[in-house]
Amino acid sequence: MANHAKEKIVKRQRRARRIKAKILNIKKKTAGKIRLTVFRSNKHIYTQLIDNDSRKTIAAAQDKEIAKKDLESAIKEKKLSSKIAMAYLVGKLIAEKSMKKKIKEIVFDRRGYKYHGRIKALADGAREQGLKF
C-alpha cells in the first residue's frame, strides 16, 4: 500500500475516534438518542440505527435495497451522479424506517468520513424525510 493511502486511512481513523468520543462523552445531549452510523465503500453505502445504551441495531438500510427505477428518477430530478443519488435514496430509506419505529431525533455518526459528497447526500435525504440531527 502506498504511503499516501496509509496516510488517508490513519486520518480517517483519527477523525472517527474524535467523532465517537464526542457522541459518547456528551451524555446529557445524546442520552436516549439513537445513533445513525454510515459505512461507505467504493461501490456501496450502508447505514444503521444503533441504540447507544443497549448497543443493538434497530434498523439498517443499504443501497442494494433501492429499486433501479427510483435511482433513475432521482438522478434526473436532482441532477446528481449515480453514487450520490444512491446515497440520497438510502438516507430517505433509513429515515422512513426510523419513522416507522417512531424515532425522530438521532445523532449522526459519519465514522470519520468527511461531510461531503455521498455522506452529505445521505444526511440530506434523511433530513428531507423528517429526521432531525
Residue 58: burial class (beta carbons within 10 Å; 0-12, 13-18, 19+): middle
Going residue by residue through the chain, which has 133 residues, state the pLDDT in tens, using 9 for 90 and above: 678 889 989 999 999 888 888 777 665 666 668 889 999 999 999 999 998 888 899 999 999 999 888 889 888 888 889 999 999 999 999 999 999 999 999 989 888 899 999 999 999 999 999 999 8
Q: What is this structure's pTM?
A: 0.84
What would the grid cell of residue 10 be? 490513519
Q: Which three cell numbers stand for residue 16?
A: 472517527
**Domain map (residue ranges) of the chain:** 3-128
Provide the phi-psi class of 88: left if phi over 0, else alpha when psi is between -120 and 50, else beta: alpha
CATH of 3-128, one of 3.40.190.10, 2.40.50.140, 3.30.420.100, 3.40.50.300: 3.30.420.100
Which pLDDT score, from 0 to 100, does residue 27 have?
Answer: 58
- The confidence score (pLDDT) of residue 24 equals 73
